[in-house]
Amino acid sequence: MGEGYKVIKIVELLRQSDQGGVEKYYSHTIKTRGGTVLSVDIVLADFTAEKTAPILAKRATDADKILSL
């Protein structure tokens, strides 16, 4: 759990896009350092280690801050 979260599962999904047609996205299930389990959707264009890591880290940090309220 290097960045405050651990990726539990990644699922590839399709949905209808606003412009018509379909778009691919990835639903990441993560567990935060505080124990919160949540899903974060990442679009295909952002599905790289460099782009996904900061998105997941921010969501994990935000969830743990809310948990501590």
Distance of alpha carbon 11 from alpha carbon 25, whole angstroms: 8
Distance of alpha carbon 15 from alpha carbon 37, whole angstroms: 23
Task: Please count the structural domains in the chain.
Answer: 1
Q: State pTM to two decimals.
A: 0.87
Range of the domain at 40: 5-67
For 26-55, the pLDDT digits (tens) are 999 999 999 999 999 999 999 999 999 999
Distance of alpha carbon 39 from alpha carbon 51, whole angstroms: 17
Please list the alpha-helical segments (H only) found in the chain: 49-67
Task: Please determine, for residue 1, whether its predicted confidence score (pLDDT) is greater than 70.
Answer: no
